Chain A
């Protein structure tokens, strides 16, 4: 039996346009998502904002009913067996919210331990273990309002693990955390996977997904665009190369000219404080450096480099294909 199974999952939202004009608007947030997560696997769900990641997770954790399709967690239907699913899953999301700021970390965990019916005899030991696991031992009596974002995030994960769930849903857990905090968080997630937990992780950070996930699904406009191991996804752009060109004031028309070159697969522009970096994905046999520089025009050019494609390039290419 798989840990998570989603079959043609769909969810639409209806809203009224205004008080006077009561026209109904329907937005399809998830349009037929299917995937299977095996036990003990870390599965990444990657996609831009509004792609349907959080809606998919909310259906799997029983907060939303699917408009159609079905999903099972550990064999239990998320629509019919909501309470059974809830007892077996943990859920943590990124950001500052989701904790009681005026309570200490220990009291927050005690509160949620009751909500998840953790037996009183094991509660104290379990809270101690989790504080140790997420590196908050020694700070547990401080009020959460004084915690850094990284500490809050680790406390979120401890909260989600209180009842020792078999499946963990982590919705952008590293959002807004500094690099050291994010690294600690990744170590915690990896340790959980080592304990045999099944984890569904959504993130915007490709290196995070690359480092942690066994398999990844890229979602865009409510549909799964690609699914496979990080290596599978990278191989989609393998056989190609990426040329990075740093420019100062490149025009949109020039970027379009570069896109039209033979052998160029895609071009993305990364805006930095004073410069713009063009990431030109191209066929490996093509030697296009001179041609690209010729199309950029008279603007000042900084660093030019060629490199192997990364998971981020694969992601950008997949999202760009929509």
Chain B
């Protein structure tokens, strides 16, 4: 097999193993796991109570799907902004940096694991909405819906990847993640449609992948074609990943040259 062939086989495997073992670590933390389930339910409950007043079941479903994504974003915003700090505390950051596997690949696997853990909250929110608020769980295109969830998780993970390399120099990086939590809920139309936002805000919404991801989920659930929204979501996710990889690369160069990034 050629060198390129070996590399092409190695990269997905490296990504998958790092993702799986990081996920195993995150899942081993029972307290965080419970928080991951319970905490988003408060926001979901607020959304359900607000939209139930209308008496429109479709509207409740619309809000319910948005609420499921809120949990995934919250998980990524809080954890990915401190992802590198966590590696630094564990003393593994310099081992990751000095390993031959590209730093961007390791870090994107880590943030993907963080986004995957957010699926706990998605499932919990759907069950909560169904049990307590009588939300319908009827999905017209289940396969397309599943694809939308996978692409959305990937895209949110890539925003997390960008966030983690951008804020790495700040000791209180976690606070920046928390600061971004609510604005993204609003900008991406998780609670209210993007069409209701002021016109000058909308371009911001359209460059955020969750806007398209949640739209694809809603389209798949209601039976309209989700593939365009899904494609835009995936392309934007890829663009975020590329930006993060480039920033990460220059950050490491700078860290080696100026010793500005304490690697221990």
Residue ranges of A at the interface with B (Cβ–Cβ < 8 Å): 11, 13-14, 58, 61-65, 82-83, 86-87, 91, 93, 95-103, 107, 110-112, 114-117, 120, 159
Residues of chain A with a CB closer than 8 A to B95's CB: 91, 98, 112, 115, 159
Interface size class of B (residues with CB under 8 A): 20 to 34
Known contacts A95-B91, A114-B18, A86 near B99 by CB under 8 Å: yes
Residue from B14, B92, B263 within 8 A of A114 (CB atoms): B14
Cβ of B183 under 8 Å from chain A? no
- Proximity string of chain B (85-106) to chain A, C-beta cutoff 8 Å, 1 when within and 0 when not: 0000111101111111100001
Residue from B13, B24, B258 within 8 A of A103 (CB atoms): B24
A54 to B29, CA, bound (A): 34
Cβ of B131 under 8 Å from chain A? no
Judging by beta carbons under 8 Å apart, are B14 and A100 in contact?
no
Judging by beta carbons under 8 Å apart, are A99 and B92 in contact?
yes
- Proximity string of chain B (17-45) to chain A, C-beta cutoff 8 Å, 1 when within and 0 when not: 11001001100110000000000000000
Residue from A64, A98, A103, A159 within 8 A of B21 (CB atoms): A103
Residues of chain B with a CB closer than 8 A to A99's CB: 90-92
Query: How would you classify the secondary structure of chain B's contact residues: helix, strand, loop or mixed?
Result: helix
A102 to B24, CA, bound (A): 8
Q: Can you list 14 pairs linking A and B with CB atoms under 8 Å apart? A: A13-B259, A58-B263, A63-B256, A86-B99, A95-B91, A96-B91, A100-B21, A101-B90, A103-B24, A107-B24, A115-B18, A115-B100, A115-B106, A117-B14
**Given A63-B98, A114-B17, 14 other A-B residues pairs in contact with their CB atoms under 8 A:** A63-B256, A64-B256, A82-B256, A86-B98, A87-B100, A100-B90, A103-B24, A107-B21, A107-B24, A111-B21, A115-B14, A116-B101, A117-B10, A120-B13
A102 to B91, CA, bound (A): 14
Residue from A62, A96, A111, A115 within 8 A of B256 (CB atoms): A62
Judging by beta carbons under 8 Å apart, are A115 and B29 in contact?
no
Residues of chain A with a CB closer than 8 A to B13's CB: 114, 120
Cβ of B257 under 8 Å from chain A? yes
Judging by beta carbons under 8 Å apart, are B17 and A63 in contact?
no
A111 to B25, CA, bound (A): 12
Residue from B10, B17, B25, B101 within 8 A of A100 (CB atoms): B25
Residues of chain B with a CB closer than 8 A to A82's CB: 256
Residues of chain A with a CB closer than 8 A to B257's CB: 65
Residue from A14, A64, A97, A115 within 8 A of B91 (CB atoms): A97
Known contacts A114-B18, A115-B100, A63 near B263 by CB under 8 Å: yes
Residues of chain B with a CB closer than 8 A to A65's CB: 256-257
Residues of chain A with a CB closer than 8 A to B263's CB: 58, 63
Known contacts A98-B91, A103-B24, A117-B14, A112 near B98 by CB under 8 Å: no
Q: Which B178-234 residues have a C-beta within 8 angstroms of A?
A: none
Judging by beta carbons under 8 Å apart, are B29 and A62 in contact?
no
Judging by beta carbons under 8 Å apart, are B98 and A102 in contact?
no
Judging by beta carbons under 8 Å apart, are A115 and B24 in contact?
no
Q: Which B239-255 residues have a C-beta within 8 angstroms of A?
A: none
Judging by beta carbons under 8 Å apart, are A111 and B17 in contact?
yes
Judging by beta carbons under 8 Å apart, are A114 and B91 in contact?
no
> Chain B residue with minimal CB distance to A86?
B100
Residue from B21, B28, B98, B106 within 8 A of A110 (CB atoms): B21
Residues of chain A with a CB closer than 8 A to B14's CB: 114-115, 117
Residues of chain B with a CB closer than 8 A to A87's CB: 100
Residues of chain B with a CB closer than 8 A to A83's CB: 100
Residues of chain B with a CB closer than 8 A to A117's CB: 10, 14, 100-101
Q: How far is the CB of A171 from chain B (nearest CB, A)?
A: 11
Residues of chain A with a CB closer than 8 A to B96's CB: 115
> Chain B residue with minimal CB distance to A54?
B264
A120 to B259, CA, bound (A): 35
Known contacts A91-B95, A102-B28, A115-B106, A97 near B100 by CB under 8 Å: no
Judging by beta carbons under 8 Å apart, are A61 and B91 in contact?
no
A99 to B92, CA, bound (A): 6
Closest 5 CB pairs of A and B: A97-B91, A115-B99, A98-B91, A114-B17, A115-B101
